Chains A and B, each alone.
Chain A
Amino acid sequence: MKWFWYASPQTFYPLAGTIARASGIVAALLAAAGLYIGFFVAPTDAQQGEAYRIIFIHVPAAWMSMFIYVVMACWAALGLALNTRLSGMMASALAPTGALFTFIALWTGSLWGKPTWGTYWVWDARLTSELILLFLYLGFMALQAAIDDPRRADRAGALLAIVGVVNIPIIHYSVVWWNTLHQGASVSVTRAPTMAATMLTGMLLMALAFWAYSIAVSMVRVRCIIRERGGASSS
């Protein structure tokens, strides 16, 4: 099995550098194409005007924020099950990127909400779940930062990530339930079901760019972590 060859931090270190460089270039190209389509090619929305263009950043960021948490929890579970050192490093390398995307999604969302809904913040189910997701990321990072022994930090963080990933659906549905209980649908996040093809292309390009960016940044970060823990003696 060639896979386990790269499970050691020492052999993974050079590979991570190659992946980081390649996906960094891909991310830059895709982002340039996606932003060009988003800002110059895509037509102005009939109802929302120019303000809708923020979705080219907002929607991919929101997707990534949730997806990265799941990936992080998978690495954490892998680390607990197989006791590999690299898994814990990957989980802690992904966390800051996930927190960043969660913050971007909240921030751009509130900027979009001001002209469209007339308010920066609504206690909508999705907004609330996203906010709690940000708290979960911050808790994970704070826990790892507080523990000096890296192996214990990895194990504690792994447990917290798994508890969090089990909790996210529960939190989401309880918030949805709370919101429908609380008030009717005064504002709706769901946009028009039909979307112009250029808008969709721009959004998908941006989503792919964010993917590549996440891979590049987490690879750079995992290289730093390997260095910090003294696992890259040969390169």
Chain B
Amino acid sequence: MLATARAIVYRDLLVAVRRRSDVAVALLFFVIVTSLFPLGIGAEPNLLRAIAPGVIWVSALLSSLLSLRRLFEADHDDGTLEQMLLGASPLGVVAAAKALAHWMVTGMPLAVIAPLIALQYDLAPQLFGVLALSLLLGTPVLSLIGAIGAALTLGLRGGGVLLSLLVLPLYVPVLIIGAGARRRASSCCSPRCWWWRRRSRLGQSPRH
């Protein structure tokens, strides 16, 4: 079972390496979208610092969405997927391995390059680690949720737009927690400090 998973991950990575431009496009998209925000909003440093986590996370979401279609499509077209279905290995392992390979190709590079984007947004250097870590933890979830959408829209007309409609609402919790981690770390660096602030705030608001 583990051997199957390893073989599928290896194969998908090999395919990605052979077609390097596909990987580069998603990464380039991420860089370009994050660079567009300061142009649209204005280069005021305080504003940029405030929106940086949200912008980086939303761009990561869109960039992951952009590459989702390729998760099953090529294998569906040339019949490889059919052979995998006929094979003895459990389908869950196949799907998980493909999602893992997708993450290694599209999610991990984002986490690596995110500090560079953060530099553009004038974030404090001690937050780079938190940002990269939150992306490293959050992007696998994006690949896993996205795999559901990619499988459901496989081979449909207008599948790309439909895929974003299905998957983006399901991404909301990841976005909130991912971008929130960065915001908490920037407002208050130690976990204990954050905990006290949260408790005092909960004490004030009687709503929930």
The reply to whether the CB of B25 lies closer than 8 angstroms to some CB of chain A is: no
Q: Are A174 and B176 in contact, with the CB atoms below 8 A?
A: yes
- A179→B116 CA distance, assembly (Å): 29
- Size of A's binding interface in residues, CB under 8 A: 28
Q: Are A177 and B153 in contact, with the CB atoms below 8 A?
A: no
Task: Tell me the dominant secondary structure on chain A's binding face.
Answer: helix
The reply to whether the CB of B42 lies closer than 8 angstroms to some CB of chain A is: no
Question: In chain A between 152 and 198, which residues have their CB closer than 8 angstroms to a CB of chain B?
Answer: 156, 159-160, 163-164, 167, 170-171, 174-178, 180-181, 184-185, 188, 190
Q: Mask for B167-208, Cβ within 8 A of A = 1, else 0?
A: 011101100110010011000000000000010011011111
Binds A, one of B3-11, B72-80, B106-114, B158-166: B158-166
Q: Which of B153, B166, B177, B201 has the most CB of A within 10 A?
A: B166
- A178→B208 CA distance, assembly (Å): 12
The reply to whether the CB of A142 lies closer than 8 angstroms to some CB of chain B is: yes
Minimum Cβ distance to chain A for residue B61 (Å)? 14
The reply to whether the CB of B17 lies closer than 8 angstroms to some CB of chain A is: no
Q: Are A180 and B202 in contact, with the CB atoms below 8 A?
A: yes
Q: Are B208 and A171 in contact, with the CB atoms below 8 A?
A: no
- A184→B202 CA distance, assembly (Å): 9
> Would A135 and B168 be within 8 Å (CB), given that A156-B152, A181-B180 are in contact?
yes
Closest residue of chain B to A170 (Cβ to Cβ) is B173
Collect the chain A residues with CB atoms within 8 Å of residue B205's CB.
180, 184-185
Question: In chain B between 79 and 131, which residues have their CB closer than 8 angstroms to a CB of chain A?
Answer: none
The size bracket of the interface on B is: 20 to 34
Closest residue of chain B to A172 (Cβ to Cβ) is B173
- A188→B206 CA distance, assembly (Å): 10
Minimum Cβ distance to chain B for residue A76 (Å)? 13
Q: Are B208 and A180 in contact, with the CB atoms below 8 A?
A: yes
- A165→B159 CA distance, assembly (Å): 23
Collect the chain A residues with CB atoms within 8 Å of residue B172's CB.
132, 171, 174-175
Q: Which of A147, A163, A177, A181 has the most CB of B within 10 A?
A: A181
The reply to whether the CB of B15 lies closer than 8 angstroms to some CB of chain A is: no
Question: In chain A between 89 and 119, which residues have their CB closer than 8 angstroms to a CB of chain B?
Answer: none
The reply to whether the CB of A146 lies closer than 8 angstroms to some CB of chain B is: yes
The reply to whether the CB of A57 lies closer than 8 angstroms to some CB of chain B is: no
Return 7 A-B CB contacts under 8 Å, by A number. Answer: A136-B169, A146-B157, A174-B172, A180-B208, A181-B180, A181-B183, A190-B207
Which 7 residue pairs are nearest across A and B when measured between Cβ atoms? A174-B173, A135-B169, A185-B207, A185-B205, A178-B176, A139-B166, A174-B176
New contact pairs (15) apart from A174-B173, A180-B202, CB-CB < 8 Å: A135-B169, A143-B153, A143-B162, A146-B162, A156-B152, A160-B166, A163-B148, A171-B172, A171-B173, A174-B177, A177-B176, A178-B176, A178-B180, A181-B180, A190-B207
